[in-house]
Amino acid sequence: MQLGLVGLGKMGFNMRERLRRAGHDVVGYDRAAEVRDVASLEELVDQLEAPRLVWVMVPAGDPTRETVERLGELLDEGDLVIEGGNSRFSDDQRNAEILAERGVRYVDCGVSGGVWGLEEGYGLMAGGAAEDVERAMPVFDALRPEGPREEGFAHAGGVGAGHYAKMVHNGIEYGLMQAYAEGFELLAAAPQVENVPEVLRAWTRGTVVRSWLLDLMVQALERDPQLENLRGYVEDSGEGRWTIEEAINNSVPAPVMSAALFARFASRQDDSPAMRAVAALRQQFGGHAVHHAGPTSGAGDVHGH
């Protein structure tokens, strides 16, 4: 099958390779000249035979909207666009409407797998009309993991459902990662445990907490047993925030995912203003000792009143 792929970053580049290994004819475009097959979107569209299929893998927000709008100007009736980036689900209806003005079809697809997707395959969650999803199934089958289709692919519903499913997937991921991280810290702090990496490695087989994320944690510890080469600073992709917003909108309690998101916010604060306020209040009402900021601040700079 022939398709165009717009965006050859960390995931798009590997997706192109996996599709080619499966025998598909992929024409790739990216702003980076060293990885692209064609120099422009116009050239990409010209090289595809109608009815065309174009998969978009560019950053969410303005880059995706601008790409979709430009494709809407270049493509013809009967062509199909698949938007596979980490876009907010609420953007999908607008994208679909822009393309529909030219008779171009639209499918949104949440993609999970990261840099491991080339060899392991990608988890795919599609949203759109059944006939559009079916048309793209050869591409989905090439990208998903080997095995039964339902274990690596889902037609989640209409336009927007794919990105909604991926949003919730990432919210769950936040919670799982935070639980493993807190478990690691507790093990490392306990004087009774002398080999934290070995404990975590043992959990990867036969236990109820085994998972691919745990496997990746073990791999990280094999390279850096104390994780001393990393800062405890963690960004969020946006999908974790959107998940919590949707939990609020739908009155769904989500304390684990919420706490995991807020923990990421806390990771970016070298000296939390909120915790300074807590320290000040404890000192005021209870006379508790505090640590004063400054060149000599530290364990020895503790005062009580």
What whole-number distance in Å separates Cα of residue 89 and Cα of residue 242?
Answer: 9
Catalytic residue among 166, 185, 198, 245: 166
Clarify whether 198 is annotated catalytic: no
DSSP count for the chain of H helices, then E strands: 13, 9
Helix (H, G, I), strand (E, B) or coil at 110: strand
Is this model's pTM higher than 0.95 or not? no
- What per-residue confidence (pLDDT) applies to 150? 85
What whole-number distance in Å separates Cα of residue 136 and Cα of residue 195?
Answer: 48
What whole-number distance in Å separates Cα of residue 288 and Cα of residue 194?
Answer: 34
| Residues forming beta bridges with residue 153, ordered by sequence position | 124
Catalytic residue among 173, 194, 222, 246: 173
* Letter string b/e over residues 43-73, b meaning 16 or more CB atoms within 10 A of that residue's CB: ebbeebeeebbbbbbbebeebbbebbeebbe
- Cα dist. 102→40, 61, 189, 216 in Å? 20, 22, 61, 45
Helices 196-203, 212-223: crossing angle, 10 deg rounding: 160
Long-range contacts at 142-149 (CB < 8 A, ≥ 24 apart):
142/18, 142/19, 142/22, 142/23, 142/24, 143/15, 143/18, 143/19, 143/111, 143/117, 145/120, 145/121, 146/121
Are domains 2-159 and 170-267 of this chain identical in fold? no
Q: Taking Cα atoms as reference points, which of 99, 6, 11, 90 lies closest to residue 45?
A: 6
CATH number for region 2-159: 3.40.50.720
10 Å CB burial of residue 208 (0-12, 13-18, 19+) is: exposed
Reading the chain (305 residues) residue by residue, the pLDDT tens digits are: 999 999 999 999 999 999 999 999 999 999 999 999 999 999 999 999 999 999 999 999 999 999 999 999 999 999 999 999 999 999 999 999 999 999 999 999 999 998 889 999 999 999 999 999 999 999 999 999 999 888 899 999 999 999 999 999 999 999 999 999 999 999 999 999 999 999 999 999 999 999 999 999 999 988 888 888 878 777 887 889 999 999 999 999 999 999 999 988 888 888 777 777 778 777 778 777 777 776 544 444 445 44
Q: Where are the domains of the chain?
A: 2-159, 170-267, 273-303
- In residues, how long is the chain? 305
Q: Please report which residue ranges of the chain form alpha helices under DSSP H.
A: 10-21, 41-47, 62-74, 92-100, 117-120, 130-135, 137-143, 161-189, 196-203, 212-223, 239-249, 255-267, 273-286
- What per-residue confidence (pLDDT) applies to 6? 98
Name the CATH topology of 170-267.
N-(1-d-carboxylethyl)-l-norvaline Dehydrogenase; domain 2 (1.10.1040)
- What per-residue confidence (pLDDT) applies to 305? 43
Helix (H, G, I), strand (E, B) or coil at 141: helix
Clarify whether 194 is annotated catalytic: no
- What per-residue confidence (pLDDT) applies to 295? 55
- What per-residue confidence (pLDDT) applies to 231? 80
Helix (H, G, I), strand (E, B) or coil at 156: strand
- Cβ atoms of 96 and 159 closer than 8 Å: yes
- What per-residue confidence (pLDDT) applies to 253? 96
